[in-house]
Structure 1
Amino acid sequence: MKTAVGTAKNNTWALGFSDFKEITKARLAISVVFSSVAGYFLGAPEINWFSILLLSFGGYCMVGASNAYNQVIEKDLDALMKRTMNRPIPAGRMTVNKAMVIAIIMTVLGVIALYYLNPKTAMFGAISIFLYTSCYTPLKTKTPLAVFVGAIPGAIPFMLGWVAATDDFGIEPGTLFMIQFFWQFPHFWALGWMLDDDYKKGGFKMLPTGKKDKGTALQIIMYTFWMLLISIIPVFGITGDLQLSILAAVIVFLMGAVMLFFAFRLYERRDNTSAKKLMLASVSYITLMQLVYVGDKMIRGWI
């Protein structure tokens, strides 16, 4: 009897933890934390591991809260789409009130953690929650421009780390912001292309032309090109303390060229397979680009 009770409790805890990960979109939140920590390493004159811990915790809370608010607002629409119908709220495993409690607690804890680093970091974290929840989320069913609005909070994490390390916002974090801002478009439009039929069930307008056509593919190419250009600008020495060696710039350029290749392939073929390859290339690009930036700074420091 005790064993059965213990097993039931373990299953309840496991299910609760699984739903917590789902309501906060743990994988997305962790990737955002990675971007923030990368930005911190780029900006910090010396590494403070307690600051990294605060940034990671605060960053996860900010993203987790945004996603929880989002799922509360979109609960009825989520129930209409195959990719989201098994989320905790539409599936009936979590109440709206419980989700809101999670979101509010994470908002408060996140802001406190980031404020402990410095007020600017907390401010940008709070702005990201506001824009994602109050602007991006309701606009998704109104206009394709929602992706443009959503790209703003989506681009904050990379620059947030620099601000957390330096307590300053200037051309350096602004450049990091622009890199990730332009990256958002090919990434999310490729994803939107793949899931277009499902998105339409929920009434979401994710593609810029509303269709999987040459117009959408052409815009993907344009934004990928601008992302590639801005990613190598630090090599020219015009972005303050944010610098990039020639070798690192070549590597970043080649990685961006791979994304651009898949963007052209999507324009040529206009199929879901090409969109998936572009989406996967974009995920690889943003991670590897940040690693190259951080690695290049460390190597230049050693030399």
Structure 2
Amino acid sequence: MNSLSASVAKPSLFSSFVAITKARLAISVVFSTVAGFLLGVEEWNAGCWVTILLLATGGYCMVGASNVFNQVIEKDLDALMDRTKSRPLPSGMISKQTALILGFVLTLVGLVILYIINPKTAMFGAISIFMYVSLYTPLKTVTPLSVFVGAFPGAIPFMLGWVAATGHFGIEAGTLFIIQFFWQFPHFWAIGWFLYEDYEKAGFYMLPTGKRDKKTALQTILYTFWTIAASLIPVFGFTGRLHLSVVAAVIVALLGFWMLFYAVKLYKEMDAKAARKLMIVSVSYISLLQIIYVIDKFIH
């Protein structure tokens, strides 16, 4: 009976892989990348399906590798926090050596796959993993500016899809980058707010002032404004092949004001419940925005 319960309790190889690569996060990043590809592709053909498959696989490998290296570096800190202490490394499910090997394998496989698409896609993938692991991760315990640094690799996926489709970085890819760059501030500050006590245990600085105060809440509102503004740039016709119709722009603006409503609500209520709600709305915002952009392109 004891051996049976032990075997049941032992996690499978697949579930350990899902946990250490943070599959849900990785899939959401792949979603952004595919959306960027759909926006960038000029003429749809059978080869596009192959590229999407390569992009999704290579993208998952790169994000998964970033998450693996992040957890290797933060193993001891993860053990201090309630939400992370059951992760594969601090819980002993996976050894540090095994995780490192997995991280390097995923990096190599991801870079090769992205290079097959085109060299620029692989280059931006490499920049993303380098900034996330070597800059953002160690800075989290040093300065609140870690969120600013982390916003750079975090903004690459949406733009990466366009580069995969076109082979070059221009005003269109830059606009997609800027949208996701600004969006990350209200998103991550909302997370930093409602997980403040947990982050404090590990000494992570995730809020701009280091505290849950009015200044942090005000900056969250300001960056939500910037996110809305950046999201509407393509409607003015200054962004090359990246277009947005007036109807789509109105819908995106309404989504933006929905997110802004909860940013203002956080400023008024100053509690974890409001911050959690803003985080959920922010995730809905970026996902719906990407869907609207893609639908708008294919119906116009």
TM-score normalised by L of structure 2: 0.96
1:262: which partner in 2? Answer: 262
1:14 Cα deviation from its structure 2 partner: 5.5
* Residue deviations 1:128-151 (CA, integer Å, cap 9, x gap): 000000000000000000000000
Map of 1:158-197 to 2, 5 A cutoff?
Answer: 158-197=158-197
Q: Which runs of 5+ in 1 are unaligned?
A: none
- C-alpha separation between the residues in 2 aligned to 1:64 and 1:193? 25
- C-alpha separation between the residues in 1 aligned to 2:90 and 2:84? 8
- C-alpha separation between the residues in 2 aligned to 1:240 and 1:14? 49
Map of 1:67-146 to 2, 5 A cutoff?
Answer: 67-146=67-146
- C-alpha separation between the residues in 2 aligned to 1:180 and 1:278? 16
- Find out whether 1:16 has 2:13 as its counterpart: yes
* Residue deviations 1:128-182 (CA, integer Å, cap 9, x gap): 0000000000000000000000000000000000000000100000000000000
1:290 Cα deviation from its structure 2 partner: 0.2
The 3-state SS of whatever aligns with 1:292 is helix
- C-alpha separation between the residues in 2 aligned to 1:92 and 1:152? 32
- C-alpha separation between the residues in 2 aligned to 1:14 and 1:175? 42
- Find out whether 1:213 has 2:213 as its counterpart: yes
1:194 Cα deviation from its structure 2 partner: 0.4
- C-alpha separation between the residues in 1 aligned to 2:77 and 2:278? 27
Report the AA paired with residue 89 of structure 1: L
1:12 Cα deviation from its structure 2 partner: 8.9
CA-based RMSD: 1.5
1:30 aligned residue (16, 27, 32): 27
- Find out whether 1:224 has 2:224 as its counterpart: yes
Map of 1:38-57 to 2, 5 A cutoff?
Answer: 38-47=35-44, 48-57=48-57
2:277: which partner in 1? Answer: 277
1:46 Cα deviation from its structure 2 partner: 2.3
- C-alpha separation between the residues in 1 aligned to 2:12 and 2:70? 21
- C-alpha separation between the residues in 1 aligned to 2:8 and 2:166? 44
1:286: which partner in 2? Answer: 286
1:17 Cα deviation from its structure 2 partner: 1.1
- Report sequence identity in percent: 64
What stretches of structure 1 move > 3 A for 4+ residues in a row? 10-14
Cα separation, partners in 2 of 1:22 and 1:262, compared to 1, 3 Å? same
- C-alpha separation between the residues in 1 aligned to 2:212 and 2:13? 38
- C-alpha separation between the residues in 2 aligned to 1:106 and 1:53? 16
Q: Which runs of 5+ in 2 are unaligned?
A: none
TM-score normalised by L of structure 1: 0.95
- C-alpha separation between the residues in 2 aligned to 1:277 and 1:70? 26
